[in-house]
Amino acid sequence: MKIACLGWGSLVWDPRDLLIRRKWFSDGPLLPIEFCRQSDDGRITLVIAPQKPRVRTLWAIFSTEVLDDAVESLRAREGICKKNVSKDVGRWVREQGNHDSVDPDIHNWASWKGLDAVLWTSLTPKFLGEIDRVPSAEAVLDYLRNLLPYERRRHAEQYIRRTPVQIDTDYRRLIEMQLGWLPYEE
């Protein structure tokens, strides 16, 4: 079974023990990705945010051909509770016919690539404790500008600056212009 993992944030530069072959390809499906999730550690992370512009994602091949092992690997890497795995680890599986519940760009891309399954982190937007709240770009910018202590702010900045350049979102451009958090040199 040929299983792919989609990535757009820290999975790409910090896969840790994720069971992937270490090469990330830059021609993943177009998905509505944006900096819309406030993490417990203060960062604003990238998630799929419906109604936001689509950007080209990245992808890698799992080094396992066992779907359950790939799901568990992504769940563990992302720190997702086992009880939430069916909700927070998105999946497209050719044989299961779950294509109607998956973004059509994932289905079309996976079919074109000849993949048997695709996994991704499907955490929802969250801001100021409100799940599914998509903050405005100005709210994210204001939050980051005022984030304390310094260590939390530095951690948030590193996440944004390490994000692959091709993840060129509206919020990122505003953060770059207003805070000067430009991508790190590759």
Give the pLDDT of residue 40.
92
Give the pLDDT of residue 185.
75
Is 146 a member of any domain? yes
173 half-sphere exposure, CB direction, 13 A CA radius: 5
Tokens of 127: 């801001």
Is 113 a member of any domain? yes
Separation of alpha carbons 134 and 88, rounded Å = 17
Number of domains in the chain: 1
Q: Is the dihedral of CA 168, 140, 120, 39 positive or negative?
A: positive
138 half-sphere exposure, CB direction, 13 A CA radius: 0
Is 93 a member of any domain? yes
Is 124 a member of any domain? yes
Is 184 a member of any domain? no
Is 185 a member of any domain? no
Give the pLDDT of residue 157.
98
**Average pLDDT value over all residues in the chain:** 95
Helix or strand holding residue 48 (H, E)? strand 44-48
Give the pLDDT of residue 159.
98
Give the pLDDT of residue 101.
76
Lowest mean pLDDT among 2-6, 94-98, 128-132: 94-98
- List pLDDT tens digits, range 27-59: 999 999 999 999 999 999 999 999 999 999 999
Is 74 a member of any domain? yes
Q: What is the pTM of this model?
A: 0.95
Position 99 confidence tier, pLDDT thresholds 50, 70, 90: low
- List pLDDT tens digits, range 115-155: 999 999 999 999 999 999 999 999 999 999 999 999 999 99
Asked if residue 61 has pLDDT above 80, the reply is: yes
Domain residues for 32? 3-179
Is 186 a member of any domain? no
